[in-house]
Structure formats: C-alpha cells, structure tokens
Amino acid sequence: MKYRHLLLLTSVTLAINLSFASLNNIKEGRDYTILEDPIESIHPDKVELVEVFSYVCTHCKDFDPILKKYESHLDDPDVAFRNIHVFWAPEFLNLIRLSVAVDENQMTQVANNYIFQATFNDKVNFFDEKTTIEWLNKQTNFDGKKIAQSYQTPHNKNKAKDISILSKKYKLETTPNIVIGGKYKVSLNALKSETDLVRILDGLINLSKKDKLPINVLINTGGEFVHLANQSK
C-alpha cells in the first residue's frame, strides 16, 4: 500500500511538471538565455514582458508592430507589458524622454509607429529637444500636444534618468530585445516567423509563472492526493 501512495504522489508531481513543459515547448540556448543578474520588476504580482528598443533602430521599427500585435491579442491579466528605450550614450536621453512621455500617456500602440516613420522616412532628429517638441505639436494622428506637455516636465527628465540606469542593467549590446520575468532573454535568431514569436513568448510567460509558484504548492498538492489515497484504503 505504501508503494501505491508513493506511485500516486510521483504521478501527481510528474503531471504538474509535464503540464508546464508541454505549455513551454522551448529550450534554453536555442530559444532564450538567462540573464546573469535578474532585473527586479515594477509589477511584482505579474509576469513582466519588457521590450528594450530604440527609436533609431531600423530592426526595432520592423519588429515593434509585430510585438504590439502579440500584446493586443494576449488576454492575460497576469502579464504586464513594458517598453524601455535603450541608453547607449548621453544623447539618447532625449529619446528616452520621448518614450517615457508616450508610455505615460498610453499611446505606444499608435504613436510609436509614427515616430519610427518620422525617424527613417522624414529624417526627424528626435535627439534634439526643440525638434521633438515642434514635431509632436504638429501631429494629428494622435494627441501629440499631450505628449509634448509630458515631455517637458521635470518628472519626465527624472524618469528618463531612471530608465537610462535601468537600461544599463540589462547589459544588452543590440536592439530590439525582449526580457520576460526579469531574467529570460529571447534569442532573436530563433524567431523565423510570428509562430515562433508566439511559441517562445507564451513559453517564457508560462515558465515565469512557474517561477512565481511557492514551493509548497507541489508539496501541498501531493499531500492532498496522498491523504485521499489513505482514505480510500
């Protein structure tokens, strides 16, 4: 009878682990790497998906709409999305300020596309503060004036400095990059199609959710099944 109990407990634990494995369908080294120093999330109760990008990165211009499409279709209250503009030199601070202003006004889904177009098609110099403000105030496809107001506040400048410090912690050498759960960095070479993107992001989100499970979940679950088995003797 003890053997029966042990077998039942093993089966329960294995079933839980396999459920995560089947959901993940991802492999470390091929689909993702793990950051040496995990980044603390500003959403401690959620799995944070962070896009590290740059307005002057042509690959980001092409990739951002694809990721935004994924975000718009993911209906998961336990996942929080966040954009972080990379900081590689002091002149990038104004680009970070622009990103912060866009984010705080919840216009990333609309404004980012026009900012990318202006950067690469119209050669607008968003490194320059005056040029950025003038461009924002002329926009009609989104509320550019509201973003311009946010862009010019002391809060915006302070937040941009914080983001520049945070950007360095990721120790990234290229953009775009995606980090999930503060530790799992997507291997962009593995993204051959949108199907790969969905597979890897879904897998890393599930893996991050598993990381958040307290250790006593498995213990208690197994204990409950053993208790039921004892009652059935």
pLDDT value of residue 215:
52
Q: How far apart are CA 179 and CA 184, in angstroms?
A: 5
Q: Work out the average pLDDT over 69-89.
A: 94
Contact 111, 147 (CB under 8 A): yes
Q: What is the mean pLDDT of the chain?
A: 86
Only one residue has tokens 């709409």, namely 65
CA angle, 70 then 75 then 77, to 5°: 120
Q: How confident is the model at residue 14 (pLDDT cuts 50, 70, 90)?
A: very low
Answer for the pair 82, 167: CB distance below 8 angstroms, yes or no.
Answer: no
- Write down the domain spans for the chain: 32-186
> Given pLDDT bands bounded at 50, 70 and 90, which one contains residue 41?
confident
Whole-model pTM over 0.85: no
Q: Does residue 214 have a pLDDT over 60?
A: yes
Identify the pLDDT of residue 76.
93
Q: pLDDT of 125-141, one tens digit each?
A: 999 999 999 999 999 99
C-alpha distance from residue 116 to each of 64, 96, 186, 217 (Å)? 10, 14, 23, 46
Mean pLDDT over 12-19 rounds to 45
**Residue 175 · residue 60 · CB < 8 Å:** yes
Q: What is the mean pLDDT of residues 64-90?
A: 94
CATH class assigned to 32-186: alpha beta
Phi and psi at residue 47, to the nearest 5°: -85, 120
pLDDT at 226 > cutoff 90: no
**Residue 2 to residue 9: CA distance in whole angstroms:** 11
